[in-house]
Structure 1
């Protein structure tokens, strides 16, 4: 393909081959047949391709019955999507997409065979989610025609696809695949051939920091999930997601990405995981993981009930607290009395960022046994997170909990931690995303879109960092780094430079 113009080839009615009739292969067949392409499906297993195409038609028939697809559109798809009995039937295809087992030897063998069948200008794409595309392409005489084309399940509904440009992939191939994907109504994001590509790479922060928080006994899995789901708007918390995907699968992905990144501390797996995998606590599919399941439904764990509010309570609120007015209003509404001097109060309330409750109390000259901290970055009206110092007394804990829950907003009571739950998780997500941008693994626009669509986060990670403030992100990361000495928390230069300049984290590097 070298020497051809760097512009997409004809992307109207193409002939697209799909090798593999499993869940992903079927989804790819449906996507491109609905987009107007002729699609041929092949599978090495006898009759699998025919059954796969039939399953696609059955899915589309249900859409017709629901009024979501016109019957004449289904007729056209039936004419364009076909199964084939031999790999050689793909000879006339413009693009062949592989969606078979995640085995490098099997994929390399397939690509080697395809080169002897298809034309020299046929694009070969792999739907691998974890293998290095360049290694697959190295089996080919023309590696420049090979790229990754990674879809997410279910393919027709997950409106994003990663186009992975391997070291020798021709620009024309990338441009053509982008045009085909976008023509089918999906967002195409171009990604360098790096471990985890973009979406799985960017998603490491949620899982690994959630596990780290539980390791440190700051909170339980359900408490972490509650805070991130209710306070920050995640669709599911990390432990709910691990149970959904299966810990046996997720543990392999965590280990693979960590090893492929040369044991980068930011991706270090948790020691909590191997014993649970060995015990078969995979999640939903085994009936028990981080949660128990009955008839496929999660059994909700017991939550801590709010204690009764004691009478005559006196409270000191840090005058510099970000939510000081809201806290003061809450104190007033309960009938508790606010003290201007901390020494005269039953409870002292602080709101640190990037600091634990014990350190904040000592810095302000407070009695740690009478002190609690409330997370200032989460919306005060959704769920409140109250953090204890090492020596907070049970009486102070219960009185503060009762106060914070007095208007029926749920409260999570957690152990001492630099950055609470929400601060730590957001800072970790933003830091990993910033490093992706720093290394140009993807453009900022593609990074933001892929995370929103592929992971379902409320915001793109760098946009989220801007909402919180780059300086605060640095404060949280540096606080963790100083306290633990763990290089996992070292801030990306992308964040540090933009914080110093006072510019958005979305600001790209200056052209050179």
Structure 2
């Protein structure tokens, strides 16, 4: 099935809290349902944190680490994670393989003959420019180790770093002029300031290769280093910077950046103001070494320090998850003791890690010395008593509450009072696990996603008695291990598995109501919504026995709340044994003889398009008008008498759905012919859109609407007239569930969004997405859905309602 090709990671099933105790499922089925499954893949960007240094490695060596859409997305997410990571005090950027970065992957911009050329300016605005700003504005020093060719945008990304070291064999090429473009990614700003205008013009207009040594002589980079010493010297430099006063270095960056545009007098004034700030920092007042451990959470993340790499980490359970967690800790520099009560299992777990790392060596992804050091730090433990001197214990055994309680009770008698005791449980209440212990305050959940070495998200779960210091230390430690940690309270589903339920539920409901076929709905969620996979292909991948069991568990854990109601459609698949890819048949047929299912899009039509009249404040749909103009259509913009944003083609009205079906909205607004279109992540970039028509839309009007959107370059899917269509209702329900989680104290808005992006690769956090749409619009959409169905399932969260009424947002 080729429609799975774009999927890279599948972090799924993070059900938390006391779901097991209230679930009607047999224990063996619940345990199987809560086992995490994922597709292994080589990450395009490697990210680790050690000794205060965040190390980012561009990891597409076969393409000279050139940027494609996936690498852009990973870079954007990771830079935000680095900024939020309270343990990071310096950044090191480098590349894997024989080159640093060849700039843009041009194969990602292939244009079919006769097709409209891509808008490269829009690509810069949405991809490169935000990345360059995020990199340049990090509040700590950035070091770049250019390990080979740095061409085009790759060269300018390197030069955006504060200190640039280059291998002696490295070179810099401003190759834009060779293909008729100008240097972007800050190149026309950076080059003249580094090497002077004359040399900048030569580099930009000739596109000649500049050796590393010449770049050093011209003052473009800090220094040249022998190839074999580059990484060690760059890392040593970054580690040194990480020991310096972080706030002071941030102020130095700020002053130097401003100097390029300030007059002398302006710079003197800025120095005065910044020095005043520097003099007020704890670093200056208390003297050096700096008090970076006490930097405020608002400015640099958690106040608590991460565990030292000298601290011993213990992992109980040597299965795939336990061994993976042990590998993560060992890669972060800790000595790790791995225990399993099955004879030989711990040693086998370490050997499994060794085999996986050796594969990375064979692919040139890791050095043999690095692998040897990691494995040397991992040792099997024969008894629980051998874990007594550990600073942190992570339990990753069978999902059985009584078994876990027994293990934690024994650990409490063996380990010292400062040992943190954590569970990787995905189904059980941390409060229940810790009950009966003398010191439940040091017990928390540390929920990794499978495979732990690859997946970035870690949910730090606090039970009723968990001390805030425990949770903060675990949060800082996970961040130091290169993960993206989020805080959550011990409730069913934690964050990810709870907030994600509507993604499946709304797709299943649309299918049950005959709105469209699975392939069409999947295509719309991918192409218009920006999700990695649609709900049906994702459920097929997870397995319907697993996904259905988890849904039932969450449903019963919340005492039958209809927001989590299981689907009869999925129940029928389970009963029929159609479990998805693993059984060869689910929503799709995966047998060798089966024809791949294809989405149903409208056939290409031709129609004479009248003047497009755009009415009202268009907001997020404005790019449709821009695309219409670019496609040669005559457009007119005017005020809206109704106060609503609409597009008109003669007597046909086009409007963004607001949660009502087209039939109801046409009646309410007195419109004869109304076509509603679905939400898109970005109307300027989307290549597909869903439409639904009111009864007054005849064949000619339907053809007109189809021709209009096809003229804009969009595939058109006509859905049965249904409230909220496909993408809008899904996003609104995801945002609603995230808002409910925030209201109930499960997580913050920031952590809720971060979890869904880092854990499930959502294109936007649900609450940030709602903010961008306008909370009043999302609230109104939910009200309309609730009125259409008459069900509590669509009731708006009170927090969402309150913020909408107050004209507030979830994020500043």
Considering the TM-score relative to the shorter chain, is it more than 0.5?
yes
1:373 maps to: 676
2:802 maps to: 497
1:307 maps to: 603
Partners of 1:73 and 1:129 lie apart in 2 by: 31
1:3 maps to: none
Runs (5+) with no aligned partner, structure 1: 1-5, 508-512
1:510 maps to: none
CA contact (8 A) 1:377 1:468 kept: no
CA contact (8 A) 2:523 2:599 kept: no
2:662 maps to: 357
CA contact (8 A) 1:29 1:41 kept: yes
Partner of 1:175: helix, strand, or coil?
A: helix
Partners of 1:343 and 1:453 lie apart in 2 by: 40
CA contact (8 A) 2:394 2:424 kept: yes
Instruction: Pick from 302, 314, 319 the counterpart of residue 22 of structure 1.
Output: 319
CA contact (8 A) 1:318 1:350 kept: no
Q: State whether structure 2 residue 771 is matched by structure 1 residue 474.
A: no
1:238 maps to: 535
Partner of 1:451: helix, strand, or coil?
A: helix
Counterparts of residues 327-346 of structure 1 (less than 5 Å): none
Counterparts of residues 426-505 of structure 1 (less than 5 Å): 426-505=731-810
CA contact (8 A) 1:466 1:505 kept: yes
Partners of 1:42 and 1:198 lie apart in 2 by: 29
Which one has the largest radius of gyration?
A: 2
Partners of 1:344 and 1:128 lie apart in 2 by: 56
What is the Cα deviation at residue 335 of structure 1? 9.4
Counterparts of residues 254-333 of structure 1 (less than 5 Å): 254-294=551-591, 300-307=596-603, 309=605, 319=615, 322=618, 323=621, 326=624
Instruction: Pick from 682, 688, 691 the counterpart of residue 383 of structure 1.
Output: 688
Partner of 1:405: helix, strand, or coil?
A: helix
Partners of 1:492 and 1:156 lie apart in 2 by: 36
Partner of 1:437: helix, strand, or coil?
A: helix
CA deviations 1:388-424 (Å, max 9, x no partner) are: 3357556654564355334552111111122211110
CA contact (8 A) 1:311 1:336 kept: no
1:93 maps to: 390
CA contact (8 A) 2:648 2:654 kept: no
2:335 maps to: 38
Partners of 2:402 and 2:767 lie apart in 1 by: 37
CA contact (8 A) 2:489 2:747 kept: yes
Q: State whether structure 2 residue 489 is matched by structure 1 residue 179.
A: no
Partners of 2:649 and 2:741 lie apart in 1 by: 50
Partner of 1:150: helix, strand, or coil?
A: strand
Q: Say if 1:317 and 1:385 are closer, same or farther in 2 by CA, change over 3 A.
A: farther
Q: Say if 1:172 and 1:299 are closer, same or farther in 2 by CA, change over 3 A.
A: farther
What is the Cα deviation at residue 71 of structure 1? 2.5
Partner of 1:384: helix, strand, or coil?
A: strand
Q: Say if 1:318 and 1:214 are closer, same or farther in 2 by CA, change over 3 A.
A: farther
What is the Cα deviation at residue 53 of structure 1? 0.5
What is the Cα deviation at residue 166 of structure 1? 0.5
Runs (5+) with no aligned partner, structure 2: 1-302, 637-646
1:117 maps to: 414
| Count of aligned residue pairs for this structure pair | 497
CA deviations 1:403-449 (Å, max 9, x no partner) are: 53345521111111222111101111111111111122112222222
CA deviations 1:83-128 (Å, max 9, x no partner) are: 2233332222222111112222332232233334333432221101
CA contact (8 A) 2:657 2:725 kept: no
Partners of 1:354 and 1:281 lie apart in 2 by: 33
Q: State whether structure 2 residue 491 is matched by structure 1 residue 194.
A: yes
CA deviations 1:222-258 (Å, max 9, x no partner) are: 2221111111211111112211211111111111112
Q: Say if 1:416 and 1:213 are closer, same or farther in 2 by CA, change over 3 A.
A: same
CA contact (8 A) 1:94 1:122 kept: yes
Q: Say if 1:41 and 1:337 are closer, same or farther in 2 by CA, change over 3 A.
A: closer
Q: Say if 1:70 and 1:394 are closer, same or farther in 2 by CA, change over 3 A.
A: same
Instruction: Pick from 347, 350, 359 the counterpart of residue 53 of structure 1.
Output: 350
Partner of 1:163: helix, strand, or coil?
A: strand
What is the Cα deviation at residue 348 of structure 1? 5.0
Partners of 2:633 and 2:310 lie apart in 1 by: 72
CA contact (8 A) 2:517 2:599 kept: no
What is the Cα deviation at residue 276 of structure 1? 0.9
Taking structure 1 as the reference length, the TM-score comes to 0.87
Q: Say if 1:56 and 1:332 are closer, same or farther in 2 by CA, change over 3 A.
A: closer
What is the Cα deviation at residue 80 of structure 1? 0.9
Partners of 1:332 and 1:158 lie apart in 2 by: 41
CA contact (8 A) 1:11 1:176 kept: no
What is the Cα deviation at residue 81 of structure 1? 0.4
Partners of 1:180 and 1:203 lie apart in 2 by: 26
CA contact (8 A) 1:226 1:237 kept: yes
What is the Cα deviation at residue 54 of structure 1? 0.5
2:522 maps to: 225
What is the Cα deviation at residue 313 of structure 1? 7.6
Taking structure 2 as the reference length, the TM-score comes to 0.57
Partner of 1:149: helix, strand, or coil?
A: strand
What is the Cα deviation at residue 12 of structure 1? 3.2
Q: Say if 1:81 and 1:389 are closer, same or farther in 2 by CA, change over 3 A.
A: same
What is the Cα deviation at residue 24 of structure 1? 0.8
CA contact (8 A) 1:321 1:350 kept: no
Partner of 1:30: helix, strand, or coil?
A: helix
What is the Cα deviation at residue 269 of structure 1? 1.9
Q: State whether structure 2 residue 488 is matched by structure 1 residue 161.
A: no
